[in-house]
C-alpha cells in the first residue's frame, strides 16, 4: 500500500524517497517501484523536447543524478538555465546550499565532453569549501562528507546508519523506514558474517597461508572488496566466488614485490601465458603451489558458470579475470589488470593515476601547499592541462582539481630521474 501511494505522489517527493532508499541500501526491496517512477520521469523529459520548466536547482540536480545513477542518460543541458548572461553559474545560486550540494553530486556523473558539468563541479566545490567556515558543526560535517565522499565514490552501506539522522532532520521521522532499515541491517549483517566464515574456511583449506608465509592473509579486507562490488544481499554466491580471485591478486602482488627473483618472475610470466599444468615443472615450489591454486580456482568458477548459465568462460577468465601477466619491451614482467600496459599512453595513464592518488594522500594529511616532481612527462602535462586527459583518468583528475582548489600553493613539474617515480613535497615543513 505504501509503495503504491508513493508512486502516485509528486515527482520531487518520489525522488527524495528514492534517494533515501538507495542511501539506506534498502532500495533492492523496491526495484519495480523505483523503475516505474524513474521511467515515468524520464519519459516526461523526453516528451518535453528538451524544454524544462523547473527552476529549482535541488530538484533538477537530484532528478539528473538519480536518472544517470540508474541507467538513464538525461542531457546535461538542463543546467544551462542556471547560468547568467556571461555563461557562468549565477551567484544567486549560492543561497541554495542544499541545491549546491546536489549540483556537486550531479556533476560527479559527468561524461567526456560535458563541459557544463565540469563547470558545475568547479562552481559547487568552490562554494561548498568557502561556506564551511560559516555554518554550524553538524552542517559542516555533512558538507565535508559530500565533498570527500560523493555518492558514486562511496561504500554506501557503511554510510547508511549516519544517513538516517540526516534524513530525519531534513524530512522528518518515518517509522516505517526506520523499522525496515533496522530489520534489513540485522539480516544482511548475519548474511555477511556467514559469508565471511565460509570464505575464511575455504581459504584455509587451500593451504596458501601455510605454504606462502611471506604473503598477506587479510580475509576481511579481501571480502570487503566483493561486498563493495556486489552490495545486493541477493548476490551471496557471487560474492563468495569473487573473493577468491581478489585474494589471488593480493598474493600475486606479494610474490612480485616481496618474495621473488627476476628469473623466477620471467618463468612465472611464461607459465601464466602458457596456461597449462605442464608449466609447473620449471617453477620453484612456492610458485607451483600458487599456480596450481590459480588454475584450480579458474576451472572451478568456469564450471559453476557453465552449470548455471550454459556458458564456459574459461578463456575469458584466463586472460582477464585474474588480470594479465605481461612483459614490457625491456623484459621486466609486471602485473596489470585489464590495462593496455604495453602502449605508451596506457603506461601514462597508470602514472597519472599514481600521482592523483598522491594528491589524495596529501589531502588526507592536511597539506596546504604541495610541490609535485614527477618523472613522467606525459602525466605532468596532463595534470597541467597541456595534454587532453585520458578518459580513464577523468574522475581522478577531477579529484585533483578539488584538492588543488583547497590549497594555497601547488606546483607540478617534470624532473627526470634514473627510475620512474613521483615525489610530493610539503612546502612549509619539508615532508615528502
Predicted confidence (pLDDT) per residue in 322-353, tens digit: 444 444 334 444 433 333 333 344 556 767 77
Say which residues have a Cβ less than 8 Å from residue 281's Cβ, sequence separation at least 6.
Answer: none
Say which residues have a Cβ less than 8 Å from residue 343's Cβ, sequence separation at least 6.
Answer: none
Lowest mean pLDDT among 45-54, 151-160, 260-269, 274-283: 45-54
Torsion angle (degrees, nearest 10) of CA 397, 166, 229, 198? 140
SS3 303: helix
At the topology level of CATH, where does 188-368 sit?
Farnesyl Diphosphate Synthase (1.10.600)
- The pLDDT of residue 69 is above 60: yes
Which among 118, 140, 128 is positioned nearest to 94, based on CA atoms?
128
Superfamily of domain 1-172: Terpene synthase, N-terminal domain (1.50.10.130)
H/E stretch holding 245 reads helix 236-257
* Domain layout of the chain by residue ranges: 1-172, 188-368
Predicted confidence (pLDDT) per residue in 96-113, tens digit: 999 999 999 999 998 888
Contact status, residue 304 vs residue 313, Cβ threshold 8 Å: no
Torsion angle (degrees, nearest 10) of CA 166, 170, 175, 180? -50
Which among 79, 124, 109 is positioned nearest to 402, based on CA atoms?
124
Q: What is the pLDDT of residue 320?
A: 52
Q: What is the pLDDT of residue 319?
A: 64
Residue with cell 578518459: 391
371: left (phi over 0), alpha (psi -120 to 50) or beta: beta
192 CA to centre of own chain: 21
Contact status, residue 353 vs residue 345, Cβ threshold 8 Å: no
Which among 322, 299, 315 is positioned nearest to 245, based on CA atoms?
322
333: left (phi over 0), alpha (psi -120 to 50) or beta: beta
- The pLDDT of residue 67 is above 90: yes
Percent of residues, the chain, with pLDDT higher than 90 = 27
Lowest mean pLDDT among 167-171, 287-291, 329-333, 396-400: 329-333
Residue with cell 585520458: 390
Q: What is the pLDDT of residue 421?
A: 42
Average pLDDT on 188-211 reads: 91
Q: What is the pLDDT of residue 123?
A: 94
51 pLDDT band, cuts 50/70/90, is low
Q: What is the pLDDT of residue 323?
A: 46
- The pLDDT of residue 164 is above 80: no
Using CB atoms within 10 A of its CB, is residue 391 exposed (0-12), middle (13-18) or buried (19+)?
Answer: exposed
The residue that leads in pLDDT, 262 or 191, is 191
Q: Which alpha helices (DSSP H) does 326-372 contain, by range?
A: 344-364
Contacts 24+ apart (CB under 8 A), 209-214: 211/286, 211/289, 212/251, 212/254, 212/255, 212/259, 212/286, 212/289, 212/290, 214/254, 214/258, 214/259
Interaxial angle between packed helices 11-23 and 57-69, expressed in degrees from 0 to 180 and rounded to the nearest 10: 50
Q: What is the pLDDT of residue 322?
A: 41
Lowest mean pLDDT among 8-12, 128-132, 306-310: 8-12
- The pLDDT of residue 125 is above 90: yes
Q: What is the pLDDT of residue 325?
A: 47
SS3 411: strand
Predicted confidence (pLDDT) per residue in 181-197, tens digit: 889 989 999 999 999 99
Lowest mean pLDDT among 10-14, 27-31, 93-97, 275-279: 10-14
- Rg for the chain, CA atoms, rounded: 25
The residue that leads in pLDDT, 330 or 412, is 412
Predicted confidence (pLDDT) per residue in 295-304, tens digit: 898 888 889 8
Half-sphere exposure of 249 (CA within 13 A, CB side): 18
SS3 312: coil
Amino acid at each position: 500500500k505504501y509503495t503504491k501511494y508513493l508512486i502516485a505522489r509528486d515527482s520531487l517527493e518520489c525522488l527524495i524517497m528514492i534517494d533515501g532508499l538507495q542511501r539506506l541500501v534498502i532500495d533492492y526491496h523496491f526495484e519495480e517501484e523505483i523503475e516505474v517512477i524513474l521511467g515515468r520521469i524520464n519519459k516526461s523529459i523526453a516528451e518535453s523536447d528538451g524544454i524544462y520548466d523547473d527552476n529549482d536547482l535541488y530538484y533538477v540536480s537530484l532528478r539528473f543524478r538519480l536518472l544517470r545513477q540508474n541507467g538513464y542518460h538525461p542531457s546535461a543541458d538542463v543546467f544551462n538555465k542556471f547560468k547568467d548572461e556571461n555563461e557562468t553559474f549565477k551567484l544567486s545560486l549560492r543561497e541554495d546550499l542544499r541545491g549546491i550540494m546536489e549540483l556537486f553530486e550531479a556533476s560527479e556523473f559527468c561524461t567526456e565532453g560535458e563541459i557544463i558539468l565540469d563547470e558545475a563541479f568547479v562552481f559547487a566545490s568552490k562554494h561548498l569549501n568557502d561556506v564551511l567556515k560559516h555554518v554550524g558543526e553538524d552542517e559542516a560535517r555533512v558538507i565535508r562528507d559530500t565533498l570527500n565522499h560523493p555518492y558514486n565514490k562511496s561504500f554506501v552501506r557503511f554510510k547508511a546508519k549516519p544517513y538516517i539522522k540526516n534524513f530525519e532532520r531534513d524530512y522528518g521521522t518515518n517509522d516505517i523506514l526506520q523499522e525496515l532499515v533496522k530489520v534489513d541491517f540485522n539480516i544482511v549483517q548475519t548474511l555477511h558474517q556467514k559469508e565471511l566464515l565460509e570464505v575464511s574456511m575455504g581459504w584455509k583449506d587451500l593451504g596458501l597461508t601455510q605454504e606462502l608465509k611471506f604473503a598477506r592473509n587479510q580475509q576481511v579486507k579481501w571480502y570487503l572488496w566483493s561486498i563493495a562490488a556486489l552490495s545486493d544481499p541477493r548476490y551471496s554466491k557471487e560474492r563468495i566466488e569473487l573473493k577468491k580471485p581478489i585474494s589471488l591478486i593480493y598474493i600475486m602482488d606479494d610474490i612480485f614485490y616481496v618474495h621473488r627473483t627476476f628469473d623466477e618472475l620471467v618463468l612465472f610470466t611464461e607459465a601464466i601465458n602458457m596456461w597449462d599444468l605442464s608449466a609447473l615443472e620449471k617453477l620453484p615450489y612456492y610458485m607451483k603451489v600458487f599456480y596450481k591454486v590459480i588454475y584450480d580456482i579458474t576451472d572451478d568458477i568456469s564450471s559453476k558458470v557453465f552449470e548455471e548459465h550454459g556458458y564456459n568462460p574459461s578463456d575469458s577468465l584466463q586472460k582477464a579475470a585474474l588480470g594479465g601477466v605481461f612483459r614490457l619491451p625491456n623484459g621486466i614482467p609486471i602485473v596489470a589488470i585489464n590495462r593496455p600496459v604495453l602502449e605508451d599512453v596506457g603506461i601514462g595513464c597508470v602514472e597519472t593515476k599514481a600521482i592523483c592518488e598522491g594528491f589524495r594522500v596529501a589531502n588526507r594529511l592536511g597539506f596546504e601547499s604541495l610541490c609535485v616532481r614527477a618523472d613522467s612527462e606525459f602525466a605532468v602535462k596532463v595534470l597541467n592541462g597541456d595534454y587532453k586527459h585520458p578518459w580513464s583518468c577523468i574522475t581522478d583528475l577531477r579529484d585533483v582539481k578539488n584538492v588543488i582548489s583547497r590549497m594555497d600553493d601547488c606546483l607540478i613539474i617534470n624532473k627526470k630521474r634514473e627510475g620512474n617515480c613521483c615525489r610530493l613535497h610539503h612546502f612549509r615543513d619539508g615532508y615528502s
